[in-house]
Amino acid sequence: MDSPLTELKGVGPELAKKYAVLGLRTVADLIDYFPRRYDDYSVLTPIAQLHPGQVTIEAEIKQITGRYVRRGMHITEAVASDASASVRLVWFNQPYRATAMKTGQPYYISGVFALKRQRFSITNPTTELASDFPVNTARIIPIYRETKGLNSRQIRAALAQVLGRMRRLPETLPEWLVAEQRLMSRAETLETIHFPASSDKLDEARRRLGFEEVFELTLASLMNKYELQTEHAPAVPFEAKVAKEFVHHLPFALTDAQRKVIWQIYKDMERTQPMNRLVEGDVGSGKTVVAAMAAVMVLHQGKQVALMAPTELLARQHAETMQRLLEPLGFGNSVGLLVGGMTPAQKASAHADTKAGRIRCLIGTQALIQDAVDMHELELVIVDEQHRFGVEQRKKLTAKAGHLPHMLNLTATPIPRSLALTLYGELDVSILDEKPVGRLPIITEIISPNSTDALYAKIDAELEVGRQMFVVCPLITESATLDVNSAEKIYEKLSKTTFKHRRVGLLHGKMKAAEKNDIMQQFVDHKLDILVSTTVIEVGVDVPNATIMLIEGAERFGLAQTHQLRGRVGRGEHQGYCYLLMSDSSAPSPRLRALERSQDGFKLAELDLDMRGPGAIYGTMQHGQLDLRIAKLTDVKLIASARQAAQEFIDRHEKLVQYKQLSHRVAKLRAVTNLN
């Protein structure tokens, strides 16, 4: 299984490089590379009974010729016959066909039968000699994600060579579990996913793989949870007077959801077991205030708090907000910042102040977990939108404190309940599902390209009174294959023509960190009126003066992602607007219509899950280690049975080390799901 692909017939060093582009280097990688879809050519039809559409025939080639026509195009034509009739076959630019195919021998021929130039024919069919085990015809054909110079036919040919090894693969799940759940064996499952004998068998194989995915994920999650229960953390007593004083100085009223969530956090921190709570709050639901209320109770005890954010800009903004919120209680001066962009002298000063206890609320990026940071009084860690904050970081923080601190994780990505249970089984989940009082709903409109002039006039009137606009594009630069506007192209257009009288900036992921921070800071300081960007602003800073979000090629963004982008505007006292500009004038998709109708991130997340089926748990913009390739998170029955089986595995005191592959997968998943 660890053999390199170059050991296979037909895979030389150059083709191996193409496989490597897809992440395939060994036989094991190849077997684990699942098809993205299937074409069903399994039904053999007599030629006399053919109807337009995908067809497969078993026939002999009676005659075959090739010729060049205009502009160097080559056409190969053949006549295929069976006992019932004959049919014309046509290939374009495949000159080898004329010599490769032998007359008088039976072939399986699969392709699309259609009327072209007043004649019925099968165009560009796939052919192979008739046999007991066809690979490319006369069956359900797997179609894989391809790359230039490597197609599905070549991938199928390589897989056919390792079929013997596939059939000898050992079981990865306990025998009792396979029997109890009536699962297909691991070996048969993998053969079926690549070479399905029937659609029923394919469904069975998909069920087995989907079950295994959720089972592994849940087992990793439960093991994290039980391990956490053995840890000790110092209790943080609840002081009603401190909480009341904090609330008294707020310039706004807390929502009922905020009150409920902060009470859950206070109850958690009073225990001597480490808190491990995830706060899900829709964009603009007031998560930072909840974090500050948690922090103030720890600071009142003379202990330390660390708040980690994914970007320098967001860390700086959190530091300003926390300082403002904690100032009335006398803790403003104890807030410190530590980010990569600071000078060595500034970092040294922050390190010294933290060690001496002058900084008791340290806010920063991954810089917080560096060895130089001495937080021996650390009792609360708050992590904002940092899903990769895993086991290694946890160990480093534990080492600083000498024990496991209380953990509070914040996310602005609403996660459907079915997904939260599967992915975050070891976390207690709190939900902020109310917007602050007085926050205006964002007006969302779908815009056709024909209406851009009227839209730009409306936007300019808003900019004229001092407001600002984000413009988000799906690509950084122009693409030869995708007909969508890039950030660079839109920046050129807006800065030199449409809005040449405005200050326009450009921001994208290929810029250096310092450059990105500088551009974003200019926008925050209102030195720019318009910021053209890619989705790097999705998890972004708070710019209360930004009231317009214009999304170019809106149909190319995911539902949850677009909702996140929309949440970047309308965060101040002024009305927010989100314009979903389509690439063409076709009818808007159900996804765009849903965004136009609803502002509820949790409802949209459920809808997004239904529309996407299996796929990226965190979305394409974040890491893919938790992607579900087969399981559908809407399959409640499968999820329930897999979760129950994971609990039973633990209750039976099964030894994970007995199952080598399962143990490896669970260890990997524990590392990426573990947010404590």
The 3-state secondary structure of 580-630, one letter per residue: EECCCCCCCCHHHHHHHHCCCHHHHHHHHHHHHCCECCCCCCCCCCCCECC
Domain 240-271+286-411 and domain 443-598 have a common topology: yes
CB atoms near residue 453 (< 10 Å): 9
43-135: CATH topology = OB fold (Dihydrolipoamide Acetyltransferase, E2P) (2.40.50)
Tell whether the model's pLDDT for residue 622 goes beyond 60. no
pLDDT digit string, tens, across residues 213-254? 989 988 988 888 888 788 888 999 999 999 999 999 988 889
Q: What is the mean pLDDT of the chain?
A: 86
The better pLDDT of the pair 473, 270 is held by 270
What is the model's pLDDT at position 623? 39
The better pLDDT of the pair 434, 346 is held by 346
Q: Report the alpha-carbon distance of residue 409 to residue 518 in Å, rounded.
A: 28
* 140 strand-pairing partners: 40
Confidence band, pLDDT 50/70/90 cuts, at residue 548: very high
CB 25 within 8 A of CB 19: yes
User: What element of type H or E holds 635?
Assistant: none
Tell whether the model's pLDDT for residue 314 goes beyond 90. no
> Which of the listed ranges 19-28, 481-490, 622-631 does the model predict with the highest average pLDDT?
19-28
What is the model's pLDDT at position 484? 61
Tell whether the model's pLDDT for residue 58 goes beyond 80. yes
Q: Report the alpha-carbon distance of residue 359 to residue 337 in Å, rounded.
A: 9
Tell whether the model's pLDDT for residue 20 goes beyond 80. yes
Confidence band, pLDDT 50/70/90 cuts, at residue 616: very low
The better pLDDT of the pair 607, 69 is held by 69
What is the model's pLDDT at position 387? 54
Over its C-alpha atoms, the chain yields an Rg (Å, rounded) of 30
Tell whether the model's pLDDT for residue 451 goes beyond 70. yes
Tell whether the model's pLDDT for residue 625 goes beyond 80. no
Tell whether the model's pLDDT for residue 42 goes beyond 50. yes
Confidence band, pLDDT 50/70/90 cuts, at residue 612: low
CATH number of 1-35+139-162: 1.10.150
What is the model's pLDDT at position 282? 74
Q: Which of 181-195, 520-534, 543-557, 611-625 has the lowest mean pLDDT?
A: 611-625
CATH number of 443-598: 3.40.50.300
Mean pLDDT of 336-347: 91
Q: Report the alpha-carbon distance of residue 98 to residue 587 in Å, rounded.
A: 45
Mean pLDDT of 560-589: 86
**What percent of the chain has a predicted confidence (pLDDT) above 90?**
54
Q: What is the dihedral of CA 428, 229, 408, 671, to 10 degrees?
A: -100
* 108 strand-pairing partners: 58, 128
Mean pLDDT of 404-427: 72
Mean pLDDT of 510-517: 81
What is the model's pLDDT at position 251? 84
Break the chain into its structural domains and give their ranges: 1-35+139-162, 43-135, 240-271+286-411, 443-598
The better pLDDT of the pair 139, 623 is held by 139
Tell whether the model's pLDDT for residue 676 goes beyond 60. no
What is the model's pLDDT at position 398? 64
CATH number for domain 240-271+286-411, candidates 3.30.465.10, 3.30.413.10, 3.40.120.10, 3.40.50.300: 3.40.50.300
Q: Which of 390-404, 453-467, 530-544 has the lowest mean pLDDT?
A: 390-404
Confidence band, pLDDT 50/70/90 cuts, at residue 511: confident
Tell whether the model's pLDDT for residue 54 goes beyond 60. yes
Tell whether the model's pLDDT for residue 209 goes beyond 60. yes
Whole-model pTM: value is 0.67
Name every residue whose Cβ is closer than 8 Å to that of residue 67 and which is 6 or more positions away in sequence.
74, 75
Helices (H), 66-162: 97-100, 152-161
Backbone angles phi, psi at 556, to 5 degrees: -90, 0
What is the model's pLDDT at position 394? 58
What is the model's pLDDT at position 485? 72
Tell whether the model's pLDDT for residue 202 goes beyond 80. yes
Structure tokens at 636: 């409640």
The 3-state secondary structure of 182-225, one letter per residue: CCCCHHHHHHHHHCCCCHHHHHHHHHHHHHHHHHHHHHHHHHHH
